[in-house]
Amino acid sequence: MLNLNDPSLLVLHSLIGGVSGQGLRTYPVINPASEQIIAEISLLEEGMEAQALASAQAAQNPWAGLSGMERGRVLRRWGDLILTNEDDLARLLTHEQGKPLAEARAEIAYAADYFHWFSGEAERMYGRSLPVGAGRRHWVEQRALGVVAAITPWNFPAAMLARKLAAALAAGNAVIAKPAIETPFSALAIAQLGARAGIPDGLVNVLLTDQPERIGEWFCSEPKIAKISFTGSTAVGRWLLARAGDGVKPCTMELGGNAPFIVFADANIPAAVNGFIACKFRNAGQTCISANRLLVHMSIAAEFLSLLRDRLNLMCFGDGMQEGIDLGPLIHATACSRLQQKITDAKDKGAIVESFGIDRRASPIGSFFAPTLVTGVTPEMRLFNEESFGPIVAVTEFATCDEAILLANQTQYGLAAYVYSKDLTTINQCQKLLQFGMLGINEARLSHAYAPFGGIKNSGFGREGGLEGITHYQSQQFIAWSE
């Protein structure tokens, strides 16, 4: 039952030009913990996207014409409103996505961080003057791109939208957002708060659709859409890039991961276990930078796994609205089936599988998956090569630093990696040779509003967050002027 302090934050339709975009068809949004319908949303009708584009174009130029300080003030108010409404936003998020309420609150605060961070970056959109001779002036200006498309996933529906919206708007752009159909309420509520903060009508539009391919094709083919920013699977990223390439349309792609978590013989083992738990089981393992492969030095594997088993035994899973829940459900039953297929593949190839955790559900409903430890994982297994996106610990032992680096890099992905060691030579070697866009050294948290987030190889390109995040929503104009 959704008990909101401000019921108007539960929006059930697309937002186009600052007003309701109600269609004739509806779609039920399901709570993955209870399997109950939260509410039915109104879906986009064909032609509404053109209305969204027209309203975004009308709002964008006046917005870009404001000073960075003026845009920054609105973004800061927006971030403040998100924090003021943190409880309602977290409840919406837990109901639609399933994560424990404490994690949902942390995500909402993290979303606010992006508006606060980029409110400051809006004030610092510096160009530069270039040294030339008398009678001439050369300089570079930063320009907004225009209307950009933001496609966001279901695993962090508030934070991923905030990361794109705040940067794009700080740079002077308008945004047409398409949230995941499984988790629309966070995006709609955040957009609602943006209007209260002073965002002009039409500057941010939110489209609800169960036809993502049709909207994706439109984003790629419509010449008035200046850029696409996508967070999601590598397969969908490739699909979008193939179509955006026809129009030479710039894209930012934050795609899949297969993060190694490497624990060397000299590591602080309790600290490494704590870091691994935080990294692996956040959002029930449904994060792109989740530790996907646990690589442990063979001399400490028994000790590390013993401590890890103790922690896994105490993990409680159930409805995220309950107190004391560590793991919520996976997003749907299909996600559970995919995980089971990977575990079966590993078991058939010789791995050992153990299940853990305390089930706090009143009845066996919801798309839950117990914490699972799989030892003896080899590079031939799907658990080693594919992103799990669930609470599965896939363990591979190694003997040398060179072997650990070789195993870690044995993947098509390159988003994040983690290293636990006290030895500076080992750390230095890993830092130089690991092929990943982000690296945690005795540190399991990599995502911050002030830091660039992104990967290499099949994990995508471009960066979100940090100083780098705003640059992907700008173009540079060089001006040469002779008197």
- Give the whole-angstrom CA distance, residue 339 versus residue 346: 11
Angle at 401 between CA 400 and CA 406, to 5 degrees: 100
HSE value, Cβ hemisphere, 13 Å, CA-based, for 419: 24
Kindly report the backbone phi and psi dihedral angles of residue 356, in degrees, each rounded to the nearest multiple of 5, phi listed first: -140, -175
Contact 91, 110 (CB under 8 A): no
Sign of the torsion formed by the C-alpha atoms of 433, 434, 436 and 442: negative
CA nearest to 253, candidates 16, 81, 455: 455
3-state secondary structure of 399: coil
How many residues appear in the chain? 483
Sign of the torsion formed by the C-alpha atoms of 115, 120, 123 and 125: negative
Report pTM: 0.96
By DSSP bridging, strand 204-206 and strand 19-21 are unpaired
- Give the whole-angstrom CA distance, residue 316 versus residue 326: 5
- Give the whole-angstrom CA distance, residue 465 versus residue 437: 13
Q: For 299-342, what is each residue's pLDDT tens digit?
A: 999 999 999 999 999 999 999 999 999 999 999 999 999 999 99
Q: For 24-43, what is each residue's pLDDT tens digit?
A: 899 999 999 999 999 999 99
CA nearest to 355, candidates 336, 337, 371: 371
- Give the whole-angstrom CA distance, residue 457 versus residue 255: 10
Q: What is the model's pLDDT at position 321? A: 96
CA nearest to 440, candidates 451, 425, 135: 451
- Indicate the burial class of 242 (C-beta count within 10 angstroms; 0-12, 13-18, 19 or more): exposed
pLDDT tens for the chain, 483 residues long, are: 688 999 999 999 999 998 888 888 999 999 999 999 999 999 999 899 999 999 999 999 999 999 999 999 999 999 999 999 999 999 999 999 999 999 999 999 999 999 999 999 999 988 899 999 888 999 999 999 999 999 999 999 999 999 999 999 999 999 999 999 999 999 999 999 999 999 999 999 999 999 999 999 999 999 999 999 999 999 999 999 999 999 999 999 999 999 999 999 999 999 999 999 999 999 999 999 999 999 999 999 999 999 999 999 999 999 999 999 999 999 999 999 999 999 999 999 999 999 999 999 999 999 999 999 999 999 999 999 999 999 999 999 999 999 999 999 999 999 999 999 999 999 999 999 999 999 999 999 999 999 999 999 999 999 999 999 999 999 999 999 998
Q: What is the model's pLDDT at position 20? A: 84
Q: What is the model's pLDDT at position 119? A: 98
- Crossing angle of helices 68-84/86-97, nearest 10°? 70
Give the other-Cβ count within 10 Å of 165's Cβ: 30
413 strand-pairing partners? 457
Rounded alpha-carbon distances, angstroms, from residue 440 to 327, 368, 398: 23, 29, 19
Q: What is the model's pLDDT at position 147? A: 98
Q: What is the model's pLDDT at position 19? A: 86
- Crossing angle of helices 212-221/234-244, nearest 10°? 40
Give the other-Cβ count within 10 Å of 400's Cβ: 11
Task: Give the active site residues.
Answer: 254, 288
Q: Which two tokens stand for residue 179?
A: 């949230």
Q: What is the model's pLDDT at position 358? A: 97
Q: Which two tokens stand for residue 135?
A: 């009678």
Rounded alpha-carbon distances, angstroms, from residue 160 to 100, 230, 363: 18, 10, 32
Q: For 53-80, what is each residue's pLDDT tens digit?
A: 999 999 999 999 999 999 999 999 999 9
Q: For residue 298, what are the contacts with CB-CB under 8 A and spacing of at least 6?
A: 397, 398, 399
DSSP secondary structure of 416-437: EEEEE-S-HHHHHHHHHH---S
DSSP state of 266: T
Place of tokens 């994040």: 416
Q: What is the model's pLDDT at position 1? A: 62
Q: For residue 331, what are the contacts with CB-CB under 8 A and spacing of at least 6?
A: 32, 97, 98, 154, 155, 182, 286, 367
Sign of the torsion formed by the C-alpha atoms of 273, 276, 277 and 278: positive
Q: Which two tokens stand for residue 187?
A: 């995006």
